[in-house]
Chain A
């Protein structure tokens, strides 16, 4: 489809100019064209794209890119840095009022996910901030919107204030704030009806609710799949009622979510939360960097590389490579390798950073069994020195002893021995084929077979 990642596209451009010794200004221009494509395809607003490309072009024309051996990657890095910067650098906190109750208003277009997000937000505030929320059903227009919020309240066991659909949302909100005071509920979250930003009557209603008690937060709920129009919507809502932050919903889909970038750039309001699923706990704090990678369609490979760089010892990696080539790789090296991988963080986190990993079916639910790694370690620790260097001598008696010593079964020992053999074979083949390619894979050999 049209949605190949930016890195892939840039590589395409790069192979064209690979033969040349130097990268010219025209080449950079070519590359920026690809960047422009990628951003527009990710639904980043055109005006934002233009400004952005201009800024990046200036940086990319700098000498450190031109003279770099890998200009393509340099450009990717600049693009990503700038994107992250544009999206606000770091996460921002929720404002709580010192005077009870804190009032939070949820606003947005129809179908953005306001009611669901209201429930999720209440759950999150209760869990992480120890708040006592009250949900307010102020959507009196859409059929059954009140019932929807009531059902969600029941699921979460969070009180819901509803007065049916016959009185005005402003009055409902007013009574709800009184009710919260009386019941000592410290956070009032008002779910308003979805409305078009051009509907003046309904926008006036929001202004009236706002004037009851100046809300501490007004969250604009935006569907992550929104296209070029996201900017108009955000701007209109911001101008009319003054939003304090944005919640981006439905990010568990396969959209690139360029709307995030546009909104942030145009309104200068931070994205505070992202909705990542249909379950009530699927609301996360927003991380600008991850979003940048996503917009570019390249997974979180860069931070994976950064992690690897800071945690993997280059000297040791070189030694390992040598050992692979000469087939003198032992179980001790294997342990070393595992320790290094472990340093990089939880395995499932690492997996998620791999580009394309989000497309693997069921991976989001896959829990990598870290105890499996512990078991492997135990088995190796139960081997004698000789066994570690020359695993060929491990016969059935030795296997029995190793299994007993490590608290595992003979099958476990057999499996590890087989994996180790396979790995060695594979590595030998690869290093024979292409040293460059081999090196890449070699930094984490056997990672895949560890959690099968």
Chain B
């Protein structure tokens, strides 16, 4: 049975699973048409698996922002695999490619993309550069957690950008959770202190802290973030339980440096890949996962409140290749008929 078939069977029969797979399919529709149609073209163009084929495949992957080093590694792996399995026909190579993509992503430890909930209060800190969608993600995440039956409190830690506090406030009202805030321009660490105190006295399950966007090369701002982190862990031992780095799927190779620098400063525990509903492929997460071992925990697939989905690498790759899968299915069926 082909890899895709296995994937598909895995998700079939389970209504919940199917629904979220559909979300992926819709959200990644544009990504898929770009990426998959290229792979399909490639397969159609080259009947045989040869160097030209590999070269062009390399380009398709580079265009997905996967990054040079990762692509080179992947190509080496693929060449080896193709040789080992003695794949000659390009139509069979699709499944090998996706298998390898998932493998690169999952290299090493078992995937852990659940939120790490504490027994008492769970603190989630949201960090990232400017304009990646931190505040929006917090709104969606709050909605998600509330639906799971958790009590949620938000902390308006972006006291710098004009309108940021108001933005979180609107999300708080939409979702129906309280927002702890101070005046614009106040010390974000002080806001966090207040928020943690409030969260404790109200006995909420989850506190989600917003922070101002900052470019990772701004030393002062990164120090400020460290202070925020410190204040939280002083008030709640073991907190923050999750530090989520929001990454824009349209970001190119700089995402790797973002992940690395934010990891050094705040011990990032997971990534939220936002704006994946555009044509961008977000391929850099493969590199980040394999180099820095930071898992992607959520993906943003649209502007609606429920457009935040837990990340599943297999589904992600399935989303990328869904068309190819259907084709392969048909081919197999035809062969079986004969």
Contacts and interface: CB of A to CB of B under 8 A. Distances in A.
Interface of A: 1-3, 37, 40-43, 45-46, 109-113, 115-116, 142-152, 155, 196-198, 223, 225-230, 232-233, 250, 252-256, 258-259, 278, 361-362
Nearest to A113: B131
B260 interface: yes
B163 A227 contact: no
Contacts of B280: 227, 229
A46 to B, nearest CB: 5
Interface stretch (B43-51, B62-70, B84-92): B62-70
B160 interface: yes
B131 A144 contact: no
A144 B170 contact: yes
Interface in B85-130: 129-130
A250 B275 contact: no
A229 B162 CA distance: 28
Nearest to A42: B253
A233 B253 contact: no
Contact of B252 (A151, A196, A225, A233): A225
B219 A361 contact: yes
Per CB-CB distance, the 8 closest pairs between chain A and chain B, nearest first, are: A227-B252, A148-B163, A111-B131, A143-B170, A43-B252, A151-B162, A144-B166, A144-B167
Contact of A198 (B63, B65, B164, B278): B278
Interface in B149-206: 160-167, 169-171, 174, 184
B250 interface: yes
B256 interface: yes
Given A46-B63, A147-B162, A254-B257, A41 B68 contact: yes
Q: Tell which of A111, A112, A253 has the most Cβ of chain B within 10 Å.
A: A111
Contact of B64 (A148, A196, A228): A228
Contacts of A150: 163
Given A143-B166, A228-B63, A233-B279, 5 more contacts: A3-B253, A223-B250, A226-B251, A250-B129, A252-B218
Contacts of B278: 109, 196-198, 229, 233
Majority SS at the chain A contact face: loop
Contacts of B166: 143-144, 147-148
Contacts of B215: 250, 252-254
B217 interface: yes
Given A2-B69, A227-B65, A254-B257, A111 B133 contact: yes
Contacts of B169: 143-144
A259 B252 contact: yes
A145 B167 CA distance: 7
A89 B192 CA distance: 49
B30 interface: yes
Contacts of B130: 111, 113, 250, 278
8 contacts: A143-B169, A144-B170, A148-B161, A148-B166, A149-B162, A226-B252, A253-B216, A259-B252
Given A1-B257, A143-B170, A109 B160 contact: no
Contacts of A196: 275, 277-278
A255 B254 contact: yes
B77 interface: no
A12 to B, nearest CB: 15
A225 B277 CA distance: 18
B92 to A, nearest CB: 26
Given A226-B251, A233-B250, A145 B163 contact: yes
Contacts, number: 156
A46 B171 CA distance: 39
Contacts of A226: 250-252
Nearest to B128: A111
A228 B65 contact: yes
B64 to A, nearest CB: 7
Interface in B254-285: 254-257, 260, 275, 277-281, 284
A250 B160 CA distance: 16
A111 B128 CA distance: 12
B142 interface: no
Contacts of A143: 139, 166-167, 169-171, 174
Nearest to B33: A198
A233 B278 CA distance: 9
Contacts of A198: 30, 278-279
Given A148-B163, A198-B278, A3 B257 contact: yes
B248 interface: yes
A225 B251 contact: yes
A115 B256 CA distance: 27
B181 to A, nearest CB: 12
B294 interface: no
Contacts of B162: 115, 147-149, 151-152, 155
A115 B164 CA distance: 12
B59 interface: yes
Interface string B52-91: 0000000100111101110000000000000000000000
A109 B251 CA distance: 12
Contacts of B30: 198
Contact of A112 (B67, B131, B252, B253): B131
A147 B163 CA distance: 5
B244 interface: no
A362 B162 CA distance: 25
Nearest to A221: B131
A252 B219 CA distance: 12
B132 interface: yes
A148 B130 CA distance: 14
Nearest to B167: A144
B163 A253 contact: no
B129 A225 contact: yes
B140 to A, nearest CB: 12
A174 B85 CA distance: 65
Contacts of A116: 161
Q: Tell which of B251, B253, B275 has the most Cβ of chain A within 10 Å.
A: B253
Contacts of A144: 163-167, 169-170
Contacts of B254: 43, 225, 253-256
Contacts of A258: 252
Q: Tell which of A37, A148, A149, A230 has the most Cβ of chain B within 10 Å.
A: A148
A432 to B, nearest CB: 39
A43 B252 CA distance: 6
A151 to B, nearest CB: 4
A339 B78 CA distance: 61
A196 B248 CA distance: 13
A110 B275 contact: yes
Nearest to B29: A198
B167 A110 contact: no
Nearest to B59: A46
B306 to A, nearest CB: 17
A111 B279 contact: no
Contacts of A40: 62, 68
